């Protein structure tokens, strides 16, 4: 095998991974191993630096300040109500034929007036609920350390003999905090006063003593709305006394205090007493440690499925996160950001996938409404779900989609007069209607969204060898949309996608909304062919429709054109790379099957500017570069983020350099970038070490899943590498490595060990 040898087994190392005994220079494990957590020597002074915990529903931002122990509470359902007059898709279908006529006749600005005249309407804004506050006499002196354990989701702050521990239970859906200290004396309150809170909030506070301690309730009604949310905290002290100190409680002389907190968004009234009894019932199951154990059984299982060890310097591994961020070329930093990104992605995913801010914010004025931005950010953040063995993330992604399919149908009927489904570019989680658009951002014309959002669900099915009937049904709806929408043709007889939109760009010589955007072409073709694979009874019809779509166009610069329609000129300096959808995450354009198009896509990547230095743009660039085997370009994109001061001390990221605008794109996407540089797969192909940056000199990636149903452990050095392939399905795939290309026959349950050159 041209430099690659294949064995049926191998000698295991101490950690159970079969590794080539001749792996020259490879440090598969270190004396300490990668750090699965981070720490700081001081409390968080800003909410952006607060350590994060979450269970995919509730979130907690933990400051760890012993003098003012604050935990900001969030929940995926907390979005501000507003004017509902325009929260429906525009009724434009009757005017669609005339718009198509004008665009095809050369009126390149025709789509800019394709609206019902409504003002710009943002989706509802995500916001925090309140903060629990424990304030008392200043803590005694002594060393301070604030830590978060990624394997458990527990945040601990220790100052002298005072310890505070916080986690958000995935098993019991509750925020749990336990504080211990001799003679613990402090006041407890639920504080709704957070930055950006609107005027006119109706706030009601109260507390009652219980047999165990105190029950605190905080009801907040939105201005001009019947909607409200209520926070409930049960406080149970060990020793000492508990008394009411309106609007909260005061604990004196205790040895420990346990807090259980939940928040509910609702109409009408919430029965606080009943919620208090439900929280009290949790204690019948045991202590804080018992609650933590129930949660950890679910959280740790998911988090530890995939690990990355880059043989980093143990001294750098020991640094606090804020100091490690000052070493942007350190393998220890990549190890920790990989671990943190994986932890935060899992913690933000449950009821929904992550928002632009994950599951967390400390400010009511959340940038871009803290929405799910579907035209790039959501899929980038969840890009590691399949390969990174986080089906919990994919299930959260699926919950968002399937909960909104009825709204997607409304979009198709209202805007396009078609059956089937069209996804919106933005959603707050409550509505899937396409109502957020303007002249400069005609997001209601984006037809690629349904395929783009369903692609992760298809990847999941391929990875686990299933065919989810919900995914099959959604794909059928998308195919029906294209049957109705694709009615216009070009002079050569090809179908034309008109109007067409490439998020969030426009032709240099055209208006907002054009013809045959590359993303739209790739999405239509992929949706029809994938739907055909899920529905053999309709396969001939949908494949025939896909075959009538035009090919991609290569422009005069030798680059894959963002619009295939002749005469439309590219706008290169833009943060989005929508036109390279065929490269990533699709397999339509790749160096192996379509080398000419891959070369044109690479040229398009070379010409692409960074525009405003958005984190998602840099890492999207890296994902595409990895698929095109350009390790240098991957490294450059990573450098823009690692050297651009994008990460807070919490290891949550920002949208812009210098930690400007709290945003989860970089934090959640970075693990996918690192995986793609090492392992890529399709249902019929395995690519090992396709784009290994020089900085990744040695290491081990364990537990990665492939789309042909295998788990892979990969260890590498500068010259040699070993991969262990553990298939769950019997299949033959094409193996591509730096050493060459060969078929690889796999038998379910039989490990294969591959020895190869790194370069």
Q: What is the DSSP letter of 737?
A: E
Helix (H) or strand (E) holding 602: helix 595-607
Q: Does pLDDT of 556 surpass 90?
A: yes
Q: Does pLDDT of 1 surpass 60?
A: no
ω before 205 within 30° of 0 (cis)?
no
User: What is the CATH classification number for the domain harbouring 727?
Assistant: 2.60.40
Distance, first Cα to last Cα, the chain: 15
Q: Does pLDDT of 372 surpass 60?
A: yes
Residues 152 and 25 both lie in one domain: no
pLDDT reported for residue 759: 78
Question: What 3-state class would DSSP assign to 20?
Answer: coil
> Which is nearest to 390 in space by CA: 448, 341, 450?
341
Phi, psi of 625 (to 5 degrees): -60, -40
Q: How far is C-alpha 157 from the chain's CA centre? A: 27
Q: How far is C-alpha 504 from the chain's CA centre? A: 20
Q: Does pLDDT of 517 surpass 60?
A: yes
Choose one of 273, 299, 325: the last residue of a domain. 299
User: pTM for the complete prediction?
Assistant: 0.95
Residues 142 and 175 both lie in one domain: yes
pLDDT reported for residue 13: 33
Residue 55 CA to residue 348 CA, distance in Å, equals: 6
pLDDT reported for residue 83: 83
The arithmetic mean of pLDDT across residues 81-94, rounded, is: 93
Residue 165 counted as domain residue? yes
Q: What percent of the chain has pLDDT over 70?
A: 95
| Out of 10-19, 387-396, 525-534, least confident range | 10-19
Residue 282 counted as domain residue? yes
Q: Does pLDDT of 559 surpass 90?
A: yes
pLDDT in tens, 100-118: 999 999 999 999 999 999 9
pLDDT in tens, 715-742: 999 999 999 999 999 999 999 999 899 9
- Positive or negative, the Cα torsion across 684, 687, 457, 747? positive
Report the residue count for the chain: 759
Number of neighbouring beta carbons within 10 Å of residue 8: 9
The arithmetic mean of pLDDT across residues 549-564, rounded, is: 98
Q: How far is C-alpha 245 from the chain's CA centre? A: 42
The arithmetic mean of pLDDT across residues 125-143, rounded, is: 89
Q: Does pLDDT of 25 surpass 80?
A: no
pLDDT reported for residue 29: 33
The arithmetic mean of pLDDT across residues 136-143, rounded, is: 78
User: What is the CATH classification number for the domain harbouring 138?
Assistant: 2.70.98.50
Q: Are 184 and 240 in contact (CB under 8 A)?
A: yes
Q: Does pLDDT of 16 surpass 60?
A: no
pLDDT in tens, 250-274: 999 999 999 999 999 999 999 999 9
Q: Does pLDDT of 201 surpass 90?
A: yes
Residue 160 counted as domain residue? yes
User: Residue-wise over 598-621: b if at least 16 C-beta within 10 A, else e?
Assistant: bbbbbbbbeebeeeebbbbbbbbb
Choose one of 299, 334, 357: the last residue of a domain. 299
Q: Does pLDDT of 660 surpass 60?
A: yes
Task: Compute the half-sphere exposure of residue 367: CA atoms within 13 Å on the CB side of its CA.
Answer: 12
pLDDT in tens, 318-355: 999 999 999 999 999 999 999 999 999 999 999 999 99
Residues 293 and 148 both lie in one domain: yes
Residues 170 and 215 both lie in one domain: yes
Residues 21 and 70 both lie in one domain: no
The arithmetic mean of pLDDT across residues 184-194, rounded, is: 96
The arithmetic mean of pLDDT across residues 621-645, rounded, is: 98
Q: Does pLDDT of 2 surpass 50?
A: no
Beta bridge partners of 713: 724
Q: Does pLDDT of 699 surpass 50?
A: yes
pLDDT reported for residue 15: 33
In the chain, the number of structural domains is 2
Q: How far is C-alpha 337 from the chain's CA centre? A: 14
Q: In the structure, what pLDDT confidence band is assigned to residue 7 with cuts at 50, 70 and 90? A: low
pLDDT reported for residue 539: 98
Residues 137 and 19 both lie in one domain: no
pLDDT reported for residue 314: 97
- Positive or negative, the Cα torsion across 174, 387, 337, 576? negative
Residue 170 counted as domain residue? yes
Q: In the structure, what pLDDT confidence band is assigned to residue 141 with cuts at 50, 70 and 90? A: confident
Residues 182 and 215 both lie in one domain: yes
pLDDT reported for residue 747: 98
> Which is nearest to 18 in space by CA: 752, 758, 708, 759?
752
Residues 281 and 230 both lie in one domain: yes
Residue 20 counted as domain residue? yes
Residue 344 CA to residue 331 CA, distance in Å, equals: 20
Residue 239 counted as domain residue? yes
Q: What percent of the chain has pLDDT over 90?
A: 93
User: Residue-wise over 34-47: b if at least 16 C-beta within 10 A, else e?
Assistant: bbbbbbbeebbeeb
Choose one of 246, 274, 299: the last residue of a domain. 299
The arithmetic mean of pLDDT across residues 573-589, rounded, is: 97
Q: Does pLDDT of 31 surpass 60?
A: no
Residues 152 and 195 both lie in one domain: yes
Q: In the structure, what pLDDT confidence band is assigned to residue 475 with cuts at 50, 70 and 90? A: very high
pLDDT reported for residue 21: 30
Residues 142 and 265 both lie in one domain: yes
Q: Does pLDDT of 287 surpass 80?
A: yes
Residue 460 counted as domain residue? no
pLDDT reported for residue 19: 36
Q: Does pLDDT of 3 surpass 80?
A: no
Q: Does pLDDT of 28 surpass 70?
A: no
> Which is nearest to 77 in space by CA: 429, 565, 477?
429
pLDDT reported for residue 45: 97
Q: In the structure, what pLDDT confidence band is assigned to residue 285 with cuts at 50, 70 and 90? A: confident
Residues of the domain holding 752: 5-33+307-312+692-757
Q: In the structure, what pLDDT confidence band is assigned to residue 84 with cuts at 50, 70 and 90? A: confident
pLDDT reported for residue 10: 39
pLDDT reported for residue 756: 96
Greatest extent of the chain over all pairs of C-alpha atoms, in Å = 85
* Pairing mode, strands 720-727 and 752-757: antiparallel
Residues 165 and 26 both lie in one domain: no
- Spell out the SS3 assignment of 29-90: CCCCCCCCEEEECCCCCCHHHCEEEECCCEEEEECCCCCEEEEEEEECCCECCCCCCCCCCC
Q: Does pLDDT of 138 surpass 60?
A: yes
Residues 14 and 137 both lie in one domain: no
Residue 168 counted as domain residue? yes
Q: Are 391 and 418 in contact (CB under 8 A)?
A: no
Across the chain, mean pLDDT equals: 94
In the chain, what are the helix, strand and coil shares in percent, each to the nearest 5? 30, 25, 45
Residue 525 CA to residue 564 CA, distance in Å, equals: 14
């Amino acid at each position: 095998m041209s430099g690659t040898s294949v064995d049926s087994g191998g000698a295991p190392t101490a950690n159970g991974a079969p590794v080539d005994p001749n792996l020259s220079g490879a440090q598969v494990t270190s004396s300490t191993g990668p750090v699965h957590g981070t720490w700081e020597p001081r409390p968080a002074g800003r909410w952006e630096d607060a350590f994060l915990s979450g269970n995919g529903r509730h979130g907690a931002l933990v400051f760890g300040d012993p003098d003012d122990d604050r935990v900001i509470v969030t929940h995926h359902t907390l979005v501000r109500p507003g004017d509902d007059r325009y929260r429906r898709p525009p009724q434009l279908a009757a005017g669609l034929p005339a718009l198509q006529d004008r665009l095809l006749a050369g009126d390149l600005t025709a789509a800019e007036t394709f609206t019902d005249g409504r003002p710009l309407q943002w989706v509802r804004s995500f916001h925090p609920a309140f903060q629990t506050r424990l304030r008392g006499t200043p803590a005694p002196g002594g060393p301070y350390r604030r830590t978060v354990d990624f394997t458990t989701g527990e945040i601990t702050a220790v100052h002298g003999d005072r310890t505070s521990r916080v986690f958000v239970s995935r098993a019991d859906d509750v925020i749990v905090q336990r504080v211990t200290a001799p003679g613990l004396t402090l006041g407890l309150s639920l504080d709704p006063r957070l930055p950006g809170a609107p005027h006119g909030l109706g706030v009601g506070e109260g507390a009652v003593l219980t047999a165990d301690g105190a029950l605190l309730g905080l009801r907040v009604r939105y201005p001009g709305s019947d909607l409200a949310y209520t926070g409930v905290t049960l406080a149970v002290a060990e020793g000492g006394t508990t008394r009411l100190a309106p609007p909260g409680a005061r604990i004196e002389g205790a040895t420990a205090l346990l807090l259980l907190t939940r928040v509910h968004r609702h109409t009408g009234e919430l029965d606080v007493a009943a919620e208090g009894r439900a929280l009290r019932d949790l204690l019948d199951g045991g202590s804080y440690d018992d609650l933590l154990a129930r949660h950890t059984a679910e959280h740790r299982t998911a988090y530890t499925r995939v690990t990355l060890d880059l043989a980093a310097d143990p001294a750098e591994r020991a640094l606090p996160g804020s100091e490690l961020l000052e070493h942007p070329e350190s393998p220890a930093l990549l190890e920790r950001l990989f671990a943190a990104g994986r932890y935060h992605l899992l913690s933000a995913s449950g009821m929904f996938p992550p928002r632009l801010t994950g599951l967390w914010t400390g400010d009511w004025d959340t940038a871009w409404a803290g929405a799910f931005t579907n035209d790039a950010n959501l899929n980038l953040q969840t890009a590691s779900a399949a390969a990174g063995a986080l089906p919990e993330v994919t299930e959260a992604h699926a919950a968002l989609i399937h909960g909104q399919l009825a709204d997607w149908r409304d979009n198709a009927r209202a805007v396009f007069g078609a059956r089937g489904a069209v996804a919106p570019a933005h959603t707050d989680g409550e509505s899937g209607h396409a109502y957020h658009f303007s002249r400069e951002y005609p997001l209601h014309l984006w037809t690629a969204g349904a395929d783009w959002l369903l692609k992760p669900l298809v990847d999941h099915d391929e990875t686990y060898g299933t065919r989810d009937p919900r995914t099959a049904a959604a794909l059928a709806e998308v195919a029906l949309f294209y049957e109705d929408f694709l009615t216009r043709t070009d002079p050569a007889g090809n179908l034309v996608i008109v109007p067409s939109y490439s998020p969030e760009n426009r032709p240099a010589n055209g208006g907002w909304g054009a013809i045959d955007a590359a993303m739209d072409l790739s999405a239509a073709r992929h949706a029809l062919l994938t739907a055909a694979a899920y529905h053999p009874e309709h396969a001939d019809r949908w494949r025939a429709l896909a075959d009538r779509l035009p090919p991609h166009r290569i422009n005069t610069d030798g680059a894959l054109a963002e619009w295939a329609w002749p005469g439309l000129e590219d706008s290169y300096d833009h943060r989005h790379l929508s036109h390279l959808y065929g490269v990533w995450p699709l397999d339509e354009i790749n160096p192996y099957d379509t080398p000419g198009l891959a070369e044109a896509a690479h040229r398009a990547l070379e010409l692409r500017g960074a525009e405003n230095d958005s984190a998602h743009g840099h890492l999207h660039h890296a994902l595409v570069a990895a698929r095109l085997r350009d390790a240098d370009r991957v490294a450059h994109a990573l450098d823009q983020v690692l050297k651009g001061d994008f990460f807070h001390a919490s290891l949550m990221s920002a949208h812009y350099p210098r930690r400007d605008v709290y945003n989860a794109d970089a934090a959640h996407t970075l693990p996918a970038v690192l995986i793609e540089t090492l392992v890529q797969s399709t249902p019929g192909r395995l690519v090992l070490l396709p784009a290994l940056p020089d900085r990744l000199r040695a290491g081990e990636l364990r537990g990665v899943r492939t789309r042909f149903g295998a788990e892979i452990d990969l260890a590498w050095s500068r010259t040699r590498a070993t991969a262990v392939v553990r298939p769950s399905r019997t299949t033959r795939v094409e193996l591509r490595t730096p050493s060459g290309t060969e078929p690889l026959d796999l038998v379910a349950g039989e490990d294969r060990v591959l020895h190869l050159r790194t370069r």
